[in-house]
Structure 1
Amino acid sequence: MLLKALDASISGIILTDNRLPDNPIIYCNKAFEIITGYDRSEIIGHNCRFLQKEDRDQKERAILRDAIKNGKNCVVDIRNYKKDGTFFYNELFMSPIKDENGKVNYFIGVQNDVSLRKKAEQDLRKQQELMEKRVAERTQSLKENEDYLASIVQTVRESLIVLNPEFKVLSVNDHFLKTFKVTTEDTEGRLLYELGNGQWNIPALKELLESILPTNNPVEEFEVEHDFPYIGKKLMILNAHRIELEGQYKDRILIAIEDITDRREIERRKDDFLSIASHELKTPLTTIKGLVQIMQRMVPPGLDEKFSSVLDKTGVYVDRLNNLIAELLDVSRIQTGNIELHKDLFDFDKAVHEAVETIQVATKSHQIKISGSTNENVSADESHIVQVINNLLSNAIKYAPDHKEIDVYLSRVSNFVKLSVKDRGMGIRVEDHKKIFDRFYRVGDIQQRFPGMGIGLYICDQIIKNHGGTLWVESELGQGSVFSFTLPLNKHAA
């Protein structure tokens, strides 16, 4: 019954006789034959080490020898080889069988093929090693990126603050510390509004952080003016973004602060100089213009035509200089907010036709064609609107010297009137579309070919904006340009 039970086991079982030399196998069950691939006749009489063949350097063999020598239990996972040479891992449970005197007569070994388990363990170890390597590489990469970003942040010539969602300061760069005369200990871990004994408790800043940013829209060019007790009044431009970096920093807030106090003061001084210089030039220029007109009327009959020609050219250049000074004065008034608009109802189509007619009389090189109509009266400063139309037409002529046709389109769009001036000249690059309306901006290649100060379109843009309309350009390089503006219809005034 015992032998039948042993043969029914799915584990390989052997008995060795410790009383005989080399502790040979004296019994094996059927499962052991299946596991090893050997027949019983090839097993009986051999020592168990025959299963290791030439693989004799395993440390588990020393554990087995020690257990046999000292008559102890042991458990090992040892590499064995089947009859056909196939490698497998053998999980061996070995126990001594002693007589009544405690002498070890036999050993019993229970064996299982655990190759699949071993393979899974090895695969797991390899995966762990691979993951540890990747984690180490990723950690190193993140550290390098962090060091790289930190070096960039510290060299940026703007003040930078990083906040958590509760508006506590996580970090600031050196420029912030120097500009606002604080230390790292005074800032990091503190609520932004509490910095500097409440110096940063600025209502406009609170509105930015608590009302605008939560909509997930970035804040750009947000102007804040504040009087700091220690460093005085500062005019600042704030840009704020919610950031998420590599899934680690969620809903952190990055604020970039540009101190424009000195720049704005320099611009104010330039505007003051511009205003003073323009006014000072206006008076003597008016006198010169009057004297030239008197001389033109007093030219005696029969005088040399060359003298009359020089006098006429002098009058032309005096007019150009007078127009330039008038534009500078307009710029000065716009910058100081003192531009005066005298709005009244006038026939928009009629004003456009008269302006075109005036320009057409003065130029013989181009043909200006008007199409469309609005049939509307607008409430606006007619002289300023005509100034805009004249500027757009003059530019169309100036920048399209080789193309003689200029088109003017009139239309009503919803509750606006719209005017467009189309030329077929050199065109404007897309990246310059917005810049051309900036004060004193001139496109590089245009500056070389066509003289000017770059204030005409700036004045036009400001005039239209002050009327509640918009001025824009559609153009591609080499494809001509279309300048358009709209003016709102004031039905109540009409």
Structure 2
Amino acid sequence: MPAAPTTPNESKRLAALRSYNILDTATEEDFDELTELASAICSTPIALISFVDKDRQWFKSRHGLDVTETDRALSFCAHAINSPTEILEVENAKEDKRFMDNELVTGPMDITFYAGVPLVDISGAALGSLCVIDSVQHKLNSSQRKALKTLARQVIDKLELRKKVLELDNSRKRIKRLNELLLAKEREATQIIEHTPTAMALHVGEDMEIRFANKMMLGAWGKDERVFGMNFKDALPELDKLDFPTTMRQVYRKGIHYEQKEAHMLYMHYGKLKEFYYNYAFTPLKLSDGSVWGVLNTAVDVTDIVKSRIAVERAEEQLRLAVQSAQLGTWSINADTYEFNASDRTKELFGFLPDEDITYESAVNQITEEYRDKVNSTVETAIKENRGFDMEYAITGLHDGKLRWVRATGKLYAADDSKAALFSGTLSDITERKQDEQRKNDFIGMVSHELKTPLTSMKGYLQIIGQRANKLGDAPIADFTKKTQRQADKMQALVTGFLDVARITEGKIQLNNDVFDINDVMRAAEDEFSVSCKGANITFRLCDSLLINGDKDKMEQVLINFINNAIKYSADEPEVTITCTKAGDNALVTVSDRGIGIPAADIPYIFDRFYRVENTHVKMISGFGIGLYICKEIIEHHGGTVGVQSEPGKGSDFWFSVPLSKQPINNTSR
């Protein structure tokens, strides 16, 4: 049987192991809970926390095993620590040349399966391993491997904490030894306190007179040396409210040591109310006859440590609840190896079963063909160039064949000493939204198509009526017919606009460009509303001639839409003002009203397709939420911009700005 090779820095590794003072110590519940949890997670009867000593492996915690140690030559863990960054997993030791004739395999223990995560401390020394053992062949899944690594980190955390506790305990014992020196000479005591790297103070008498305090304690109090000789209550009224004198008097009277860990305190510090966490202790100082002559006050400021831990715990809990409530999937990709880790929800969205392994390649293969290459290249670019990732794409489920639309967002998290860089993020199901958008597009297309036929007929009838009115010399009827014909033309243009919604979404729109004066659009709108909207107070303020190169009808469509909205969302007697000004190299048209206004939360989305403000004021106002979207697309295709400024209850200013033409008006234009 080949023995495990020693590690390259064996002497340093053994020194690191012994620095924890863990060998041959009694069992501890914290460690036993971890081995019990490891056994349950990995479905193995045995789980061990093993430390590899010079000639043996010793078990700090053993779940399902009575043996406390074995010879190092027989140790599986001695092999594991030679690859401190990897899990050593032996599916069948009876077929593994390293272990097939090992007494632990051939003997009563009958080890067949072994998996061990090296226990690597903060210095990089592999102390031993957290391992699980079974007498039958076994294989860990990705979740079990991940959980075993997490538990191993918990073992190291507990070791480090235990080490720090021992160090603190040793420090406390050292402080007690110093107290013995203080009994002889108070002057020597004050010198020791002054040079101790811990906040310390000396109190004497029932009133806890401050005999001395070092600079660290004075800084913690927010005081200076003027408090020396003062009673605690008079010198520190801020802390007196926290009842410290009562506790110190109990220590003084009974001669019993008192301490608190991570005690929360809120008090005035240099004139400001601040929050602190302290590990503090009150130690009675006794004479040779056992009587107490003073109290040593020691304190360690752990505010930053505690607040950081609380912040991390709170952030983790909030993130967990947010992900759970939003039914988000989570995922991560190793930036070097592209190893892919996915939550159960992510697996579900890709059509995998919860206990199935899912690789990056298998996930990409479920993306529909039209998006697959783009997603793959975008991920690679995001990792290489440290960019954010936000994409919507379609997936065909592996097992259920179901088509789902998802939105994936992610970012790159830099590597550190313990792990490689990770590209990770979330995945959300947007299938319903995509289906709603498709249904809306289909509905608009269907309705618009059905409107074409009656409109064509109506235009024919109006043409006949107009011709007869001209023959009869009936000027009013001819004029009304002409205006009605114009409205029918505009309605037909609107219907065409509805039919173009899908193409607009794809970035396609047709413009019949010509050079015209923006005032012509203003006059046409004024003529329109002078007949169709008698009840509104509408004021048009024309500007100097400003030439535009664009589609006049569509520009008029935008203005009329803005005015109609201003009237629709105003009070019983709408007041609307339309102005035109020159703004740099652009013509700026603004429609102002004194209507109900728009909530600030809705303004960023007001020009989005199918978006409607939902509140009690607009509940009875009809609309599809596409008018402003079409207006935005028309103006942007002219190279311009749209916007709105609004305040609820005071009204709104909708505006559009389009570039001025560098060409003169074509006299032969329509």
**Structure 1 length normalisation: TM-score?**
0.57
Which residue pairs with 1:267 in the alignment? 437
Is the CA contact 2:574–2:595 (under 8 Å) kept in the aligned structure 1? Answer: no
1:475 CA displacement:
0.7
Amino acid at match of 2:287: Y
Helix, strand or coil for the counterpart of 1:431?
Answer: coil
Query: Quick one: distance in 2 between partners of 1:405 and 1:86?
Result: 88
Q: Distance in 2 between matches of 1:385 and 1:157?
A: 44
Residue 360 of structure 1 is aligned with which of 509, 527, 530?
A: 530
Q: Residue type of the partner of 1:478?
A: G
Q: 3-state DSSP class of the match of 2:606?
A: helix
The answer to whether the aligner puts 1:467 opposite 2:634 as a matched pair is no
Structure 2 counterpart of 1:81, one-letter code: L
**Superposed, which structure 2 residues align to 1:289-368 within 5 Å?**
327=494, 329-337=496-504, 339-364=509-534, 365-368=536-539
Q: Give the secondary-structure state (helix, strand or coil) at the position aligned to 1:447.
A: coil
1: CA distance, partners of 2:185 / 2:650: 87
Matches within 5 A, 1:342-491: 342-364=512-534, 365-373=536-544, 375-402=545-572, 405-443=575-613, 444-489=615-660, 491=662
Confirm or deny: 8 A CA contact 1:471 1:485 kept in the other structure. yes
- Pair 1:256-2:256 in alignment: no
The 5 Å alignment of 1:130-279 reads: 146=316, 149-150=319-320, 152-154=322-324, 156-166=326-336, 168=338, 171-182=341-352, 192=360, 194-196=361-363, 202-212=372-382, 218-220=388-390, 222-224=391-393, 231=401, 235-241=405-411, 252-261=422-431, 263-279=433-449
Structure showing greater relative contact order (alpha-carbon pairs closer than 8 Å, 6 or more residues apart): 1
SS in 2 for 1:275: helix
CA contact (8 A) 2:518 2:548 kept: yes
Give, as a single letter, the amino acid of the residue that structure 2 aligns with 1:464: I
Change in CA separation of 1:82 and 1:465 when aligned onto 2, cut-off 3 Å? same
Indicate how the Cα distance of structure 1 residues 358 and 36 shifts in structure 2: closer, same or farther if over 3 A, else same. Answer: closer
* Change in 2 beyond 3 A, CA 1:199/1:493: farther
Contact 1:153–1:173, Cα closer than 8 Å, also in 2? no
Cα shift readout 1:53-93 (whole Å, capped 9, x = no counterpart): xx9xxxxxxxxxxxxxxxxxxxxxxx9734795669xxxxx
Instruction: Assess, with a 3 A threshold, how the Cα gap between structure 1 residues 276 and 257 changes in structure 2: closer, same or farther.
Output: same
Residue equivalent to 2:287: 81
Aligned residues: 367
Residue type matched to 1:488 in 2?
P
Offset at residue 476 of structure 1 (A):
0.4
Taking a change above 3 Å as real, the CA distance of residues 36 and 199 of structure 1, as seen in their structure-2 partners, is: closer
Q: Secondary structure at the match of 1:372?
A: coil
Distance change (3 Å), C-alpha of 1:355 and 1:164: same
Residues 423 and 323 of structure 1: CA distance in aligned 2, closer, same or farther (over 3 Å): same
* 8 Å Cα contact 1:187/1:195 also seen in 2: no
State the alpha-carbon separation in 1 of the partners of residues 486 and 650 from structure 2: 33
Deviation per CA, 1:169-194: give whole Å up to 9, x if none: 57422221112133567657x6x4x3
- Give the structure 2 partner of residue 45 of structure 1: none
- Distance in 1 (alpha carbons) for counterparts of 2:485 and 2:519: 32
The CA distance in 2 between the partners of 1:227 and 1:453, in whole Å, is: 31
Cα distance in 2 for partners of 1:493, 1:187 equals: 68
| Maintained 8 Å contact 2:329/2:427 | yes
Distance 1:86 1:275, change over 3 A: closer
Instruction: Flag the structure with larger Rg.
Output: 1
Q: How far apart are residue 271 of structure 1 and its match? A: 2.1
CA distance in 1: counterparts of 2:318 and 2:600, whole angstroms: 34
Structure 1 unmatched runs, 5+: 1-31, 38-54, 56-78, 89-114, 300-312
Alpha-carbon deviations, 1:389-418, whole Å to 9, x = none? 112222223333455643322233333322
Q: Distance in 1 between matches of 2:402 and 2:290?
A: 91
Distance 1:198 1:146 in 2: 32
State the secondary structure of the residue aligned to 1:434.
helix
CA distance in 2, matches of 1:350, 1:317: 19
**Which amino acid letter does the alignment assign opposite residue 473 of structure 1?**
V
**Segment drifting more, 269-278 vs 323-332:** 323-332
CA RMSD of aligned residues (A): 5.2
1:83-112 per-residue CA deviation (whole Å, 9 max, x = no partner) reads: 795669xxxxxxxxxxxxxxxxxxxxxxxx
Report the 3-state secondary structure (helix = DSSP H, G, I; strand = E; otherwise coil) of the residue aligned with 1:437: coil
Is the Cα contact below 8 Å between 1:225 and 1:235 reproduced in 2? Answer: yes
Q: Which amino acid counterpart does residue 331 of structure 1 have in structure 2?
A: F
Amino acid at match of 2:450: E
**1:462 Cα offset (Å):** 2.1
Q: How far did residue 330 of structure 1 move?
A: 1.6
Q: 2-side partners of 1:154 and 1:294: how far apart?
A: 66
263 and 423 in structure 1: CA distance in 2 versus 1, 3 angstrom threshold: closer
Structure 2 stretches of 5 or more lacking a match?
Answer: 1-180, 187-253, 255-284, 470-479, 666-670
CA distance in 2, matches of 1:207, 1:339: 29
